[in-house]
Amino acid sequence: MARKELAKAYEPWDVEEKWESHWEAEKTFTPDPDGPGDPYSIVIPPPNVTGVLHMGHALNLTLQDILCRFNRQQGRNVLWVPGTDHAGIATQNVVERQLKAEGLTRDDLGRDKFIERVWEWKKEKGDHILSQIRRMGASVDWTRECFTFDEQRAKAVREVFVALYEQGLIYKGDYIINWCNRCHTALADDEVEHENKPGHLHHIKYSLADGSGDLIIATTRPETMLGDTAIAVNPDDDRFNHLIGKTAILPLVGRELPIIGDSYVDVEFGTGCLKVTPAHDMNDWEIGRRHNLEVLSVLDEQGMINDNAPEKYRGMTVQAARAAVMADLEAEGRVVEVVEHDHSVGVCYRCKSVIEPHVSTQWFVSMKPLAEKARAAVPDKTQIFPEHWTKTYYQWLDEIRDWCISRQIWWGHRIPAWTCEECGELIVAKEDPTVCPKCGSSRLVQDEDVLDTWFSSALWPFSTMGWPDDTKELAKYYPTSCLVTGFDILFFWVARMMMMGLQFMGEVPFHHVYIHALVRDEQGKKMSKSTGNVIDPLDMIGKYGADALRFTLTSFAAMGRDIKLSEQRIEGYKHFMNKVWNATRFAMMNLPDVIPDADVHEASDLADRWILHRLEEVKETVASATNDYRFNEIAQTLYKFIWSEFCDWYLEMIKPALYGEDERAKEATQRVLWTVLSETMILLHPVTPFITQEIWNVLPRPAGDDRSEDIATLPFPDKRPDCRDERAVAEMELFMGVVSGTRNIRTELLIEPARKLDLLVKTVSDADKAVLNANLDLIKSLARIENLTIGPDVKGPKASGAAVVQGNELFVPLEGVVDFDAELARLDKNLAKLEKTMKGVSGKLKNPGFVNNAPAEVVEGEKTKLAEMEEEKTKLTQLKARLESVMG
């Protein structure tokens, strides 16, 4: 059989497609629940079917994949479940936009036809995100792919809804909710994003009903005064507490408003008097409940003024009504003042429209009983990393309100509740009822609303395992081991999964929650299309390969620290992939078809002893860093080991043995080379699966090595305690110090790289002398030395470049090597030219006319230029001083 070879250059695209298809076809990542190994499981945070891969997804997938591939190496039985979320509002919006382009609405189609249309879209476009996940190399079990709206998940949703209803934890009632006029649906509190926006604080005069005076009310929303049903003051506020029990007249309407005392009122805000509109403010709603106030809504579901307001305002938008109300108040002399005031405005997390508090009949989950269990489980049963997110988790649970779970859309899990048209009986059932259990009528009408998308995704850790059926997956893999997710869905998803897992499985859904940071641009700004700073992961994979992107993200994934990403960094790690590839090609050219049967424990050469010791340290660091979620340390450890130690030092040091005539020494080195290279590929594999698989597939093997050609199935390399060799480390540090010290002298004094030098080393001990003499030829080769003298009595000539390594003095004679006078003259000339240029730039920056009138980027450019020249001047001055010191 012809020997397999690596291509001359690493072209990731063909490699990635080949191995991605291989792993899926071979079901490499499909575990057997009855198979050996302790369970390790992860459920993928299901991306929306409307979504496309962004850099946050790329980071999330990379970190999950590292954990899964590493735990397979540890012999664990690993399940990583993929899937997507039906994304009720977002998906319906996509299809409705398609219909609009055709001149249609969902009402033109009707509910059933519209749902059919959405399923058609899902079949055609909804799996696009999954193909992108494949391109990242995610080692998920594609045979267990789930969808939050598929048949099994629908079964789980009904089971949970009915159970919670029967337990009294789901109820239907009138309540104030967040309403999106654009999406025409209710939103949960945590689906509302808050933006700080400029506005105004309107000070309006309300007259007391008994004619004894006026109250000044400050409000940001004067149009809602049409729905006022009280005025509140703080009972501890001596300015106003004597008015409690009196009434005031509502301007423009004439309604009499009771003045009530409530400690919610902030005496420092506005005037200290609060208009209470229970139908249009969450806090006013609570005040209204405490004081049994009338709830009067003056806005309809389209965001228009309704019939509960005076006739002249009906049919107006919020903005039009605000202008009209203020104009009428001004005409009556009731506007005291209007001041600018920035305030927080709630917007829909999907369409960014301003949210209106709205009183409506909705379905709710009573959250406090569930929240108490979820709070108590952290950190005893579930740990959150980084730990500081635990406080945020607690805070949200402590302040939790009942969860509005009904949505006024068509795409989603329809609420399993029916009303009998004959007797009004409400029926909640797992299976569609055919007759009313109370009166026997078949005239049953199902609730029009669907469930909040987060309701189905809250069941994800156990519904993906086949619950409510009693499955092997559920018995083996629940609770899951770790959840990797972003902080932005700590409340939307993580806390709710905790509640549902504890309620229905009697156990937490995951033991660890790892909250990864944001991926920002290189200036630390959040990526967004509007600012044009988005880095598309698919573009980066197309340019540099998936492994380069994955390694970049891992390198900067320090716990709790946002990632500042640039394309240049990804390109830099593509160079690292090339380095790995080229190092392997060099090794392949110097390895036989069958690796020699030599015992690496018996290695005697310094380079072999040292690299084997370092390999053991790297194994230990990679394992501990992965277990502790120190992802950046995994990448940085492997990068330093492969590039700096294996490539730059070890491969150079072993060339004499590989090219020499001593066959025994050659075979021993070949065995060490193969061992280090092959085990390094296994260590690197969880971070960069494609290149390591391609390399592993062509590496020669020792006789009798029948390990799989699929690196994804191989175990983590065993420890070799006998290869720990601190003496080799100490000797190598001395060796490297001498070579690097000599190279530094050459660089500092601008001696051309090809020129051979003499080197004298004054040693401080016989042991150091012995180490250097034992490696004399290597030092000469790597440092490009002609003559090397080593000993305790060595003296350097006057004109020498010098350095000190562990107390040993290095001298490089410079007589005849450097023309000191010519070099000093050149430096003086360059310094004079540089100082002249610096003076001109400095003069510009001191000129107010230039600084104030030139474009900002031009001024910044001149500042950068001056800083660079100052740095260059410092280097030239230091070099001049170095030459002068050498000359004595």
Q: Are 209 and 249 in contact (CB under 8 A)?
A: yes
Among the listed residues 757, 754, 747, 797, the one whose alpha carbon sits nearest the alpha carbon of residue 780: 757
- Calpha distance 404→191 (Å, rounded): 11
Three-state DSSP state, 643: helix
Q: Are 367 and 405 in contact (CB under 8 A)?
A: no
Q: Are 272 and 263 in contact (CB under 8 A)?
A: no
840 vs 332, 847, 849, CA distance in Å?
Answer: 67, 11, 15
- Calpha distance 763→810 (Å, rounded): 9
- What angle do the packed helices 128-135 and 55-73 form, to 10 degrees? 60
Amino acid, res. 495:
A
Max intra-chain CA distance, the chain: 115
C-alpha radius of gyration, the chain, whole number: 36
Amino acid, res. 758:
D
Among the listed residues 587, 646, 580, the one whose alpha carbon sits nearest the alpha carbon of residue 613: 646
Q: Can you say whether the dihedral through the CA atoms of 187, 190, 196, 200 is positive or negative?
A: positive
Q: How many other C-beta atoms lie within 10 A of the C-beta of residue 848?
A: 7
Q: Are 513 and 384 in contact (CB under 8 A)?
A: yes
Residue 209 φ/ψ, nearest 5 degrees: -65, -30
| Strand-pair partners of 153 | none
Q: What proportions of the chain, in percent to the nearest 5, are helix, strand and coil?
A: 45, 20, 35
516 vs 490, 570, 659, CA distance in Å?
Answer: 11, 19, 48
Among the listed residues 491, 417, 421, the one whose alpha carbon sits nearest the alpha carbon of residue 161: 417
Q: Are 402 and 289 in contact (CB under 8 A)?
A: no
Tokens of 705: 């090595």
- Calpha distance 752→163 (Å, rounded): 81
Q: Are 53 and 477 in contact (CB under 8 A)?
A: no
795 is in an annotated binding site: no
E strands in 224-382:
230-233, 247-249, 256-261, 273-276, 335-348, 355-365
Among the listed residues 169, 179, 170, 171, the one whose alpha carbon sits nearest the alpha carbon of residue 359: 179
Tokens of 419: 């009303």
Tokens of 390: 């635990």
- In this structure, the strands spanning 146-147 and 444-446 are unpaired
Place of tokens 């926006």: 197
- Calpha distance 751→759 (Å, rounded): 14
Q: Are 362 and 189 in contact (CB under 8 A)?
A: no
Q: How many other C-beta atoms lie within 10 A of the C-beta of residue 20?
A: 19
Point out the annotated binding site for ATP: 529
Point out the annotated binding site: 529
